[in-house]
Each structure stands twice: as C-alpha cells, then as structure tokens.
Chain A
Amino acid sequence: DTAVSQTPKYLVTQMGNDKSIKCEQNLGHDTMYWYKQDSKKFLKIMFSYNNKELIINETVPNRFSPKSPDKAHLNLHINSLELGDSAVYFCASSQDPASGSPLHFGNGTRLTVT
C-alpha cells in the first residue's frame, strides 16, 4: 500500500531516445509534482498539477511534457533525451499547498542517459 509509487525505478537509455515515467498516489491528494534531483542532491521543482490542471511550470525544456489523466496520476514524458537529463526524478503529492501541507515523495526514478 505504497502512498506514492513511480515506475520504473531505473531507466538507462541512449541519447535521442524518448522515455516516460509514471506516478500514482493513493493518498487522495489534489496536487502532484515532479522534482529533479541532481548529483549534488539538490531538489528542484519541474511541474505541479492540481486536480489535473498544470499550475507550476518551471524553466524546463519543451522536451519534458507532463500529463495528468486524473488527479491520482501524473506521468512525465521526455523526448530526445540528452546527457544532461541524467538525474533522479521524484514524483510527490500534497494535500493542500495553500495551507503549507508537506510533500509526500515516491522513491524516485534514476535516469541514466548514455
């Protein structure tokens, strides 16, 4: 009964390929996020969705496209992968960001682009 689950856990691919990461939460939260963690452990927000609507879109290349089919799911599709995309991508959810609710994270997807 994992609260926030993402698949796959590891993703190794070559430059130029297209790949997707899937995320599901069973906490009943309205808001979901994608964060990127680089090799120095720094977590940076990429996107945020509230009830299927995009509300935060940081300065992320257009090659990254999030999709939320319903409020329990948030997927991330990456086109034309580059070496610099190698990182750990975390999905997260929160109850009510407006009231300072904490984030609940999945265990991450380690993407390696060769």
Chain B
Amino acid sequence: EDQVTQSPEALRLQEGESSSLNCSYTVSGLRGLFWYRQDPGKGPEFLFTLYSAGEKKEKERLKATLTKKESFLHITAPKPEDSATYLCAVQGVAAGKSTFGDGTTLTVKP
C-alpha cells in the first residue's frame, strides 16, 4: 500500500527565513508526486507535479525536488501570505488513486 509521511507537522518561520518541508513516500510504481496548498476553509490547491527522481519545479518562492524516496518543498524568503497547510500526495500505478500525507502547517510571522 502506498504511504506518505510529511515532516515537520508544523513549522513557524520569520518572514524571510528560508526552510524546507519533507515528504517521504513508498509507492509501487510512481505515476506522480503532487504538492498542494490548503488555506483554512478551502480545498487543496494544486502546486506541482513531479514524475521522476531528479526532477525540479519552481513557482515564485517555492521549489519542489524529488528523489526516489522523498520530496522537498523549499520555501525561499517566505512571506506571511505563504502561511497555509502544505499537502504531499503520491499516485502509484497499482493503486490508481492519490494517497495523501498528513500535511505540514506553515506559519510565517511578519
């Protein structure tokens, strides 16, 4: 069964203080690893898809990387508006569905 573990559970940063979120996974045949952002009272919003080890994607202050066992979401010089819960999910060939981690709740203080 596909599994996703995210760490840390919560992360508090000062504005401008860069850091990384971790997503460790086990999957039988990776179709894709996904990062989503979820704001309170909203549905998860898609950020990135990574398909193979070594792949990198960037969007504004966010950069996602992928190895065969884990993915990192790097946040460079975060701003308060980056505060949200970040969810990682994997989709395996066998399962045919997305399996989510518990998420990392990021708080960026001004």
Contacts and interface: CB of A to CB of B under 8 A. Distances in A.
Contacts of B97: 33, 45, 48, 56, 97
27 contacts: A4-B43, A40-B102, A41-B38, A41-B85, A41-B87, A42-B103, A43-B89, A43-B100, A45-B99, A55-B96, A90-B43, A90-B44, A92-B43, A97-B31, A97-B91, A97-B96, A97-B97, A99-B31, A100-B31, A102-B36, A102-B46, A103-B46, A103-B89, A105-B36, A107-B42, A108-B42, A108-B43
B109 to A, nearest CB: 21
A101 to B, nearest CB: 8
A56 B91 CA distance: 14
B98 A105 contact: no
A106 interface: yes
Contact of A107 (B41, B51, B85, B105): B41
Interface of B: 31-32, 34, 36, 38, 41-46, 49, 51, 85, 87, 89, 91, 96-100, 102-103, 105
Nearest to A90: B43
B43 A105 contact: yes
Interface of A: 4, 33, 40-45, 48, 55-56, 90, 92, 97-108
Nearest to A103: B98
B102 to A, nearest CB: 5
B103 A56 contact: no
A111 B103 CA distance: 21
A79 to B, nearest CB: 24
Contacts of A48: 96-97
Contacts of A4: 43
B103 A41 contact: yes
A103 B34 contact: yes
Contacts of B45: 105
Which of A40, A41, A101, A106 neighbours the largest number of chain B CB atoms within 10 Å of its CB? A41
Nearest to A106: B43
Q: Closest 9 CB pairs between A and B?
A: A100-B32, A105-B43, A100-B31, A43-B100, A102-B46, A107-B43, A41-B103, A105-B44, A45-B97
